[in-house]
Amino acid sequence: ETLGGDGRLDYMLVPKLFGLAERAWAPDPDWARETDSARADSLYREAWSRLVNVVSKRELPRLDREVPGLNYRIPAPGLKAEGGAVYANAELPGFTLRYTTDGSEPTERSPVVKGPIPLRGGATVRVAAFSTTGRKGHTVRLAGP
């Protein structure tokens, strides 16, 4: 794959390295040896949840502190309009979602998403995820009816 510029390697590679390291150096997980498929699925989901929480709540913030300027990918939020409100969620825990309703880009000073965002006619809701050091990921938007 061709990478188009400085920082692109960090962006593409860093999140994947955690999964590689987990599989390469950790012993075989319980879910890999389980013969009951329903139980294996449950064990897999538990292991995935633990890995995601450790990476996004502990390891990525540690990288932010110890390797300033590392340009790993911050996942974009998911948005859904329902019942006159916008619901936002994050792919990974540990990031702060911030929003605007005036068409501007979210910043570190924008309100934090704490529940449904009222969707007023014609307004555009913009939401972005921020790291613990304030680095912003891609902004997603949803326009009102």
Helix axes of 8-25 and 37-54: crossing angle, nearest 10 degrees: 130
Q: How high is the pLDDT of residue 68?
A: 85
Q: Is the dihedral of CA 61, 62, 64, 70 positive or negative?
A: negative
Q: How high is the pLDDT of residue 86?
A: 94
Average pLDDT, the chain: 90
Query: Is the pLDDT reported for residue 29 higher than 90?
Result: no
Average pLDDT over residues 61-83: 91
Which pLDDT band, with edges at 50, 70 and 90, does 1 fall under? low
- Rounded to two decimals, the pTM is 0.82
Q: How high is the pLDDT of residue 19?
A: 82
Question: 97 by DSSP, 3-state: which?
Answer: strand
Encode burial over 46-75: b for 16+ CB neighbours within 10 A, e otherwise: ebeeebbeebbeebbeebbeeeeeeebebe
Tokens, residue 5: 């510029």
pLDDT tens digits, one per residue of 103-139 = 899 999 999 999 999 988 878 999 999 999 999 999 9
* Whole-number Å distance between alpha carbons of 67 and 87: 33
Tokens, residue 55: 């990476």
Q: What structural domains does the chain harbor?
A: 8-66 (no CATH), 78-143 (2.60.40.10)
What distances in angstroms separate CA 29 from CA 23, 97, 124, one per listed residue?
9, 32, 45
Q: How high is the pLDDT of residue 101?
A: 95
Q: What is the largest CA-CA distance in the chain?
A: 54
Which pLDDT band, with edges at 50, 70 and 90, does 145 fall under? confident
Whose CA is closest to 132, among 73, 43, 65? 65
Average pLDDT over residues 1-11: 73
| Alpha helices by DSSP H, the chain | 8-25, 30-33, 37-54, 60-66
